[in-house]
């Protein structure tokens, strides 16, 4: 039997075993254990495991522990969400707390999310962020790094946003991570410093993930990342926030709705 047929046959047998015997998050046998158990060469077992990682059934770094992958939560990101967020800004806090990005994109209530963490610090603006905000390179910005894990053992979702420091200092509460998750999100934060959002631009590109992203977000080999740079503008046209949002392509869908004015 050809080597290719051997590892593919083994991958099929292991996939069936995963579906019948394992739960998401369970440790999976090592390559050495699989080679002994199925009477194949270690290279054959290794290629079979790699195939199952590419199929999204297994997760883990090569040479390290392998486990049955926890299926990621799918999300649908619509541009109409921005108007929904703006409509929410002036609503009572109780209502603002009940609806956020998790609910809008993933249909998962924030109360059921396994892990939600925001790191807030003040850093010099990277050159590309400074250009987008129209401020000098190195000018101070408030940086928010958000990580969210929907299920125990699943990869995290991550985003990084930047607001000019002199704007953010109008409301010291923005710097306190104990106020997170902020009821009403970024648009309400901007409202507290006197900004009404006039438009939002999403600049969308794609590239392969780096090693850190693959591990943190549990991205299978060969899966690209959709990268959104979101730039928020005030009603006067001033850029007031920049956010970088990486979305692994195996779990994200982008939907853009473009209303067209009638001729008459």
**Tens of pLDDT, residues 42-84:** 999 999 999 999 999 999 988 789 999 999 999 999 999 999 9
CA-wise closest residue to 118 among 55, 185, 214: 185
Residue 263 belongs to some domain of the structure: no
Indicate whether 137 and 244 sit together in one domain: yes
Domain membership of residue 222 (yes or no) is yes
- Residue 164 shares a structural domain with residue 58: no
Both 178 and 122 in one domain: the answer is yes
Roughly how many angstroms between the first and final C-alpha of the chain, as a whole number?
Answer: 70
User: What is the torsional sign of CA 209, 73, 146, 192?
Assistant: positive
Q: Are residues 113 and 46 in the same domain?
A: no
CA-wise closest residue to 245 among 229, 223, 224:
229
Range of the domain at 50: 3-68
Domain end (from 51, 68, 85): 68
Residue 229 lies in a domain: yes
Q: Which two tokens stand for residue 96?
A: 């603002």
- Residues 19 and 63 both lie in one domain: yes
Q: How far apart are CA 53 and CA 43, in angstroms?
A: 15
User: pLDDT tens digit string along 135-194?
Assistant: 999 999 999 999 998 888 899 999 999 999 999 999 999 999 999 989 999 999 999 999
Across the range 11-28, mean pLDDT stands at 95
Q: Is 163 exposed, middle or buried (0-12, 13-18, 19+ CB in 10 A)?
A: buried
Q: Would you say residue 260 lies in a domain?
A: no
165 shares its domain with 221: yes
Angstrom CA distances, 130 to 85, 133, 181, 189, stand at 25, 5, 26, 20
Quick check: 114 pLDDT over 80?
yes
My answer on whether 47 and 142 are in the same domain is: no
**Do 94 and 188 belong to one domain?**
yes
50 and 137 housed in the same domain? no
Residue scoring higher pLDDT (111 or 21): 21
**Closest residue by Cα to residue 83 from 202, 245, 235, 197:** 197
Spatial contact of 212 and 155, defined as CB atoms under 8 Å apart: no
Q: Is the pLDDT of residue 1 over 60?
A: no
In a domain, 261, yes or no: no
Q: Are residues 125 and 248 in the same domain?
A: yes
Confirm whether 45 is domain-assigned. yes
What confidence tier does 264 reach under pLDDT thresholds 50, 70, 90?
confident
Task: Specify if 8 maps to a domain.
Answer: yes
Q: How many domains does the chain have?
A: 2
- Per-residue pLDDT averaged across 9-16, rounded? 96
Q: Which two tokens stand for residue 159?
A: 């985003």
Q: Is residue 262 part of a domain?
A: no
How many residues would you count in the chain? Answer: 264
CATH number of the domain bearing residue 12:
1.10.10.10
Q: What percent of the chain has pLDDT over 70?
A: 97
**CA dist 246 → 46, 106, 188, 207, 258 (Å):** 29, 15, 22, 10, 23
Mapping DSSP to helix (H, G, I), strand (E, B) and coil, where does residue 158 land?
strand
d(CA 19, CA 36): 21
Residue 215 maps to which CATH number? Answer: 3.40.1410.10
Considering the domain architecture, whether residues 191 and 89 belong to the same structural domain is answered as yes
Residue ending a domain, choose from 22, 38, 68? 68
Q: Phi first, then psi: what are they for 119, rounded to 5°? A: -105, 130
What mean pLDDT comes out for the span 254-259? Answer: 94
Q: Is residue 2 over pLDDT 50?
A: no
Residues 91, 61, single domain; the answer is no
Pick the more confident residue, 85 or 4: 85
Report the percentage of the chain scoring pLDDT > 90.
83
CB 59 within 8 A of CB 53: yes
Please determine, for residue 103, whether its predicted confidence score (pLDDT) is greater than 70: no
Q: Which of 46, 68, 90 is the last residue in one of the domains? A: 68
Sheet with 115-124: list strands edge to edge.
115-124, 140-149, 157-164, 239-248, 225-234, 197-207
């Amino acid at each position: 039997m050809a080597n290719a047929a051997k590892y593919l046959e083994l991958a099929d047998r292991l996939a069936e075993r995963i579906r019948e015997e394992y739960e998401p998050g369970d440790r999976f046998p090592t390559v050495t254990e699989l080679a002994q158990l199925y009477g194949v060469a270690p290279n054959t077992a290794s290629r079979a495991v790699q195939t199952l990682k590419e199929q999204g059934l297994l997760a883990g770094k090569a040479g390290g522990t392998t486990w049955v992958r926890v299926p990621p939560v799918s999300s649908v990101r619509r541009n109409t969400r921005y108007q929904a967020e703006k409509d929410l800004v002036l609503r009572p806090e109780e209502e603002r707390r009940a609806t956020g990005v998790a609910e809008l994109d993933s249909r998962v209530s924030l109360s059921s999310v396994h892990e939600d963490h925001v790191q807030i610090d003040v850093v010099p603006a990277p050159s590309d962020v400074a250009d987008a905000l129209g401020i000098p390179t190195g000018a101070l910005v408030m940086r928010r790094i958000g990580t969210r894990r929907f299920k125990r053992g699943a990869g995290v979702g991550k985003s990084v946003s930047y607001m000019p420091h002199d704007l953010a200092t109008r409301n010291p509460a923005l710097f306190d991570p104990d106020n997170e998750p902020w009821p009403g999100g970024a648009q309400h934060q901007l409202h507290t410093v006197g900004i009404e959002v006039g438009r939002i631009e999403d600049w969308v590109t794609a590239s392969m993930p780096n090693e850190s992203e693959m591990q943190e977000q549990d991205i299978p080999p060969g899966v690209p990342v959709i990268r959104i740079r979101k730039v928020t503008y005030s009603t006067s046209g001033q850029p007031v926030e920049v956010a970088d949002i990486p979305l692994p392509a195996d779990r994200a869908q982008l939907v853009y709705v473009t209303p067209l004015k009638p001729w008459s």
